[in-house]
Structure 1
Amino acid sequence: MTPRLQVSHLATWPDDLTGSPAAGGGADAPLPTLSAMAPMMRRRVEPLGRMALHVAYASQGQDTPLPVVFASRYGDVPRSIALLRQLVDGQTPSPTAFSLSVHNAIGALWSIANGHTAPYTAIAAGEETVEAAFTEAIGLLVDGAPAVMVVCYDEPLPVPYDVYADHPDMPHAWACRLRLSDGAGISLSALPAAADASAPQAGAAADTPAPDLTADRRVLGFLRSDAPGLDHRAGARLWQWRRHA
């Protein structure tokens, strides 16, 4: 049986993540201050990390540290580009800058700043990143974790990689807590993409999301709505998000 999940403590940055973004939209919004983090640690955090850690603090609240799945399709690409340009110019990149450019750096800053010993994971799985994050969280829950926090975050790809973006985007982050449920909740399953070609799948019809939203923002819209389902076709897979009463 596919596990069902209770979703709670949903936090977003910016507060309004509805609607279709223009490319680069949201860049002028004031960044979170991260006042909960010590200043010496906070000064290392780039804009993307500020968004991600802001919603992580908001979603976790005062609870005991939870296992966390950090999920970003691209990660902190501007920092990586800066390092590459230094190499091209014959400069020696800073080891500190390099250590903060890796995909799990934001999760590491979260763990170190708060003294958390609960496990954390950094996920990047292309257009299926949000599904990979929830799949990882389900594994942690089935393995005994009482709750897991998922943090999704991304920003528009900068020049010269912006030509590879398949959707316009805006800087954003959202987080939520997940628990296993014996009754009402949501489920996530994957089928071969061709499996739905011959007949509708069992259960309520899924919504057709706006085509110009990134996958994680479509899922966020589903979680914040009363929609019975959401289908996300990615390569050879059809991901099915379903809501159960």
Structure 2
Amino acid sequence: MRITKWIVGAFLFSGVLMAQSADGKQPKLKSQKEQDAVMAIFNAADPAGRITAVDALLGKFADSEYKGTALFIATAAAEEMNNWEKTVIYGDRTLEADPKNYGAMLILARGYATHTREFDFDKEEKLAKADKYAKGALELLKNAPKIRPDIQDEQWEAQRKTWISEAHEAMGLAASVRKKYDDSVAEYKLGLEATPGNQNLMTRIATAYLDAKKYDESIAAANQVLALSGLNPQVKSIAENIKARAVAGKATK
């Protein structure tokens, strides 16, 4: 979950930043200098600049009520920079400051699932974290308040379902690393229930079937992707590759 334009815009409300948190409490600024430090985070030109601004805020205002929000933004920025080590550091700090920050949980869930390999000595420990954070986010998202009060109900529900889908995708990825492909498909399908037509998830389903050597199912899933209107060219290429590999695999059985 990289910070999209919509999410960045949603952070800004009455000159202050909002977090992806189920806490629901509106933090308060204690001085003009603190407000300036908070706004420097939002106004930063790039992810590295946002992290620098977060560190500056917390260096000057360690007890800021925006600590959780700021650390979450740093977590998302570190993910955007593909810096997994920093993502974990800031993600853990976010949850220490704000245990209900489902945004940080989703980032960590996805990160642990995608950065864990089959032969890692601590594979199960890391995958357990992926599942824990994804499940934690799902629980919080059940009744999470809007991150901004003026967001329309339909817009909020669509975004909430997107995050629910991301949680199931993370658990599906973790299951794939465990080679539990049936579990992986089940999670991806739950994600699809929340976001019908999700090209990424549909492709992941086709891949999971391929990895499980269920070639007919993989071909059918790939065909579903290829039949979508407005298909992303990159996704189309991936789906075609999956289908070709499944056809080849079927021929050798």
Bigger radius of gyration among the two? 2
Q: Which has the higher strand share?
A: 1
Q: Which has the higher helix share?
A: 2
- Name which structure has the greater RCO, CA cutoff 8 Å, separation 6+: 1
